[in-house]
Amino acid sequence: MHLLLRGQDFHFEMENICRLFLPDEKIVTLYDTEDDGSFPGLTVTGTLTNEGGKVHLSVRLHIGDTDNTLTDTLPETADKDTCELGMTTLLYRLLCDWLQTSQPWGLVTGVRPVKLLRRLTALHGEEAALSHFRDRLLVSEPKLKRLHTVLHTENELLALSRPDSCSLYVSIPFCPTRCDYCSFVSQTVQRAASLIPEYVEKLKEELAAVGDMQRKLGLRLETVYFGGGTPTTLSAEMLSELFQVIERHFDLSHVREYTVEAGRPDTVTEEKFRAIAAAGIDRISINPQTLQDPVLQAIGRRHTVEDFYNAFHLARRCGMNNINTDLIAGLPGDTADGFARSLEGIVALKPENVTVHTLCLKRASNLVIRRREDVQKAADTAGMIAYAGDRLTESGYQPYYLYRQSRAIGNQENIGWSVPGKSGLYNVYIMDETHTIFGCGAGAVTKLKQPGSDYLERLFNFKFPYEYIARFDEMLARKERVISFYEQYR
């Protein structure tokens, strides 16, 4: 499609609105060009002019015989944000009308709607912030209600963090095999097995250096999170060695939560759970994604539903009393009934956390075929997410964090649910960017947060394990910035 911008440059938001409806369209943006009928396919023209003491907005949608235009007029004093919102609203309404649909999150395209609601609440009060979401951003009532609940749950968790708080993320970017829908930079064990021992050695070195910095700076470590990949791809001995380095070098006296993702049931053993328990870690994640064997096969997960149940019960026997389980709505081959059965199976196990994700689509090759399928798929996935919300609420869970991802089917969201008192703090802190997060391991990003402000500085580790190992010294040298960053604010 072509997006023609005349008298304005709201390309970022206008492109994002187009992607909500047409995620597979390649968007060609041109400036100060007229739609003279020569562009193939869909053409959208957004024009802003100043005339007679007013700002005039117009958006035209043109494809074949369809040629619709909407206009709006704003006072001359309208600021850039108001003009942008006016323009995107016209575009949104034209696309809704043309495609006979609407979006559950309306004009919200960012991944952190809770953060936006919190910011607007701080500026204008809660009622005004909610009205903005409802009336200006056109967010549907069920999503707004959920957002409001999450805001309040999150506020209690955020209040636990202080200006000198920090968290630690440890990246283990290895998995036994690759799931079809995976978007992470994880290496399969078959391909990267030879790298693992050296990777663990370097990671221990990095953890020791960062731990020493945390102590030196007197920062309060609130949460530790091992993610990936699948951390339990490592042997029990390797996991124990990493836990011991953390214990020796970090001050753990304030840690409220320590999580190890044991995501793939095909990686866990009693020995690994015992190693996790021995280190005093009680929060783990075991992720079935679905409790339907044919769906597991369809997404390339090389484990069965029975493997998941065995892993879950083993974890309980090893003393794990805070378990998260992930489900995904919209998986290929899944149905509303299948998803409901998966959810019932999970609820019966009474995990402390359930995270319900929406599948994100990869780019499709045939737009027309995909679009027809997508409409049905979006409706089914919306039903699954709504069902999960009702059923988990009835079962005593509360939503405590929420985020969106681009290309999620039907523009649905991801929500973390927990029983009271067991919400995953790290998930909230990373999503809200509440305090500094030290990232160790390949692909990890350290986000240094200026105390008392929203300013963040990022330090990137190399993405792939072989780069992480080969250029380790260079990367560790970058970490020196942590000390000078904090020294500015002393």
Binding site for ligand SF4 (CB under 6 A): 175, 178-179, 182, 184, 186, 228-230, 263-264
The long-range contacts involving 267-272, CB below 8 angstroms and separated by at least 24 positions, are 267/176, 267/230, 267/232, 267/233, 268/232, 268/311, 268/314, 268/315, 269/236, 270/314, 270/318, 271/236, 272/232, 272/235, 272/236, 272/239
Q: Which residue has the tokens 């097995």?
A: 193
For 458, the token pair is 């990022």
Q: 162 or 178: whose CB is closer to ligand SF4?
A: 178
**CA atoms of 285 and 325, how far apart (whole Å):** 6
CA angle 163, 225, 286 (to 5 degrees): 145
Nearest CB to ligand SF4, comparing residues 179 and 475 = 179
**Nearest in space to 10 (alpha carbons), one of 102, 107, 101:** 107
| Minimal distance, residue 134 CB to ligand SF4, in Å | 35
Q: How far apart are CA 166 and CA 481, in angstroms?
A: 16
The Cα 466–Cα 50 span in angstroms is 56
* Residue number with CB closer to ligand SF4 (189 or 476): 189
β strands within 83-219, DSSP E: 165-172, 174-175, 187-188
What gap in Å lies between CA 326 and CA 287, rounded to an integer?
5
Q: Shortest approach of ligand SF4 to residue 228 CB, angstroms?
A: 6
Q: Which of 486, 481, 439, 433 is nearest to 461 (CA)?
A: 439
| Closest to ligand SF4 by CB, 46 or 228 | 228
In the complex, the smallest distance separating the C-beta of residue 300 from ligand SF4, rounded to whole angstroms, is: 8
Shortest distance, position 414 Cβ to ligand SF4, whole Å: 14
Q: Residue 94 or residue 346: which is nearer to ligand SF4 going by CB? A: 346
User: Rounded to the nearest whole angstrom, what is the least distance from the CB of residue 184 to ligand SF4 in the complex?
Assistant: 4
Q: Which is nearer to ligand SF4, 211 or 263 (CB)?
A: 263
* Residue whose beta carbon is closest to ligand SF4: 182
Minimum CB–partner distance for residue 392 and ligand SF4 (Å): 22
Q: How far is the CB of 24 from ligand SF4 (least distance, A)?
A: 22
Q: Closer to ligand SF4 at the Cβ: 106 or 229?
A: 229
